[in-house]
Structure 1
């Protein structure tokens, strides 16, 4: 059961992310001590209040970069940062490209987004153009077979699975794979670096006769060996209000897909901080 205090705090973050919110303010709004609130929030959402707030701010910054012509300084102010330099450094470090580079067409084309108000999975034809790896040069030798348990009663779905170093990723996965018209079953990821990763699966269920699509999402920890076959399982469910928003692109300055695009424009691009 989701605790009402956590839902209230999440609603406050979503409504006031552009303000200089602090942990003490959030705790006082739900009448809980700072220590108890922080522990309760992390137990419910999997991340601290501060990381949830950062996820909301970066999600909104990405949305504005991709869907508006606002300049970066206006976006900085609208998502709760006071310094363009600080925002640019944090954004570049987290995302792997500068805010200006994030406006390249391929970023939007290969965007994966899940939030309470917006869900998107790129078409599988676009994913094939992205290559095997994205956002990382850490090509590995492991193979991961993931059993995906999709929600019962929903139609087949286009499914995308990525492996991330962070449970709330801001840049692309170290490896990914996708499948169309899939029910529950196995999906394999190859070229995976050895280590412990967060597997995130997103499914878009196409409902005949309905406007739009239904989405489901699932998280799990995957241990991948350097060689041979590793296994794991992800159980998908409808998005929940306690899920931190995710917006990652499979286009990257480091991937073969985006290197071709960037080669023609390199003189005009700034280096990532």
Structure 2
């Protein structure tokens, strides 16, 4: 399901992703030291990497390195490393039968208890719950080497059982600007409390075969959110097959709010994201709870 980001630059069976001219321009504007540090994180995320080590590798001070890294990626080096480790942990949970302790060691954590607590707090599910089939079925993945968007019909079928959805009275109308030359796309926009989310959105909306235009999301809680747009374009044009966009939005408690998101091809400076729209209370979990209830009543 998720392809390992560690495969970048190694002997990967998936090959190199097609590079877009616009993406090349984005990456040329990033300082080589940042790109080198990102490459080092991707190759060594399972090691105990420190900020001092990353800064020394690119011959700058820790303060200067942290500042220019955040300017290029939008997050600190530590948060970027955590995003890479959790992305890989989710990949292993979904695609292998490795036990949790083996996964913990392979993604750079030394304690199963610490990893489980951090994973559960960030994702909203335990590692074991994350292995339920519905999690993979409703997975959204964004990285430079792998992108996935669940079919919109699957999301519609899931309805209000999607994870993290909150009740709100706001309406958000977003103007989505697709990349130049891009074909129509199945598009999903989620609103998140974190710019590098690990759990589901507070609200989302989608549209099939969409060009640049407006997408409206209803039932949005009031507050300041990060809108993340993901578009999977039809084949047959010179434009990208997959594009993404990020933008902060402010939603009023009543009435209609507006925002704008420009989409582009994924870049190496994007922290990888893998979130599921599946609820922790999936059908499997509900069946398990139902099976336990008679026993609990008997004990009482």
Inter-partner Cα distance in structure 2 for 1:197 and 1:110: 22
Partner of 2:259: 232
> 2:242 is matched with which residue: 211, 215, 220?
215
Shift of 1:123: 0.3
Alpha-carbon contact 1:219-1:234 (below 8 Å) kept: yes
Q: CA RMSD in A?
A: 1.7
Inter-partner Cα distance in structure 2 for 1:121 and 1:184: 18
> 1:248 is matched with which residue: 275, 279, 285?
275
Matches within 5 A, 1:83-232: 83-132=111-160, 134-136=162-164, 138-208=166-236, 214-232=241-259
**TM-score, structure 1 as length reference:** 0.93
Structure 1 gaps of 5+ residues are: none
Instruction: Classify 1:179/1:35 alpha carbon distance in 2 versus 1 (closer, same or farther; 3 Å).
Output: same
Partner of 2:53: 25
Shift of 1:262: 2.2
Inter-partner Cα distance in structure 1 for 2:186 and 2:197: 21
Deviations 1:53-108 (A, max 9, x none): 00000000000000111111110000000000000000000000000000000000
Deviations 1:114-140 (A, max 9, x none): 112211000011110221473325311
Inter-partner Cα distance in structure 1 for 2:105 and 2:289: 28
Instruction: Classify 1:137/1:122 alpha carbon distance in 2 versus 1 (closer, same or farther; 3 Å).
Output: closer
Matches within 5 A, 1:259-270: 260-266=283-289
Shift of 1:175: 0.2
Instruction: Classify 1:172/1:268 alpha carbon distance in 2 versus 1 (closer, same or farther; 3 Å).
Output: farther
Instruction: Classify 1:265/1:85 alpha carbon distance in 2 versus 1 (closer, same or farther; 3 Å).
Output: same
Look up the SS of the partner of 1:264 in the other structure.
helix
Alpha-carbon contact 2:161-2:278 (below 8 Å) kept: no
Alpha-carbon contact 1:133-1:174 (below 8 Å) kept: no
Alpha-carbon contact 1:133-1:173 (below 8 Å) kept: no
| Larger Rg computed on CA atoms | 2
Instruction: Classify 1:6/1:19 alpha carbon distance in 2 versus 1 (closer, same or farther; 3 Å).
Output: same
Inter-partner Cα distance in structure 2 for 1:81 and 1:206: 40
Alpha-carbon contact 1:216-1:238 (below 8 Å) kept: yes
Look up the SS of the partner of 1:91 in the other structure.
helix
Structure 2 gaps of 5+ residues are: 1-28, 293-300
Inter-partner Cα distance in structure 2 for 1:41 and 1:8: 11
Shift of 1:253: 1.5
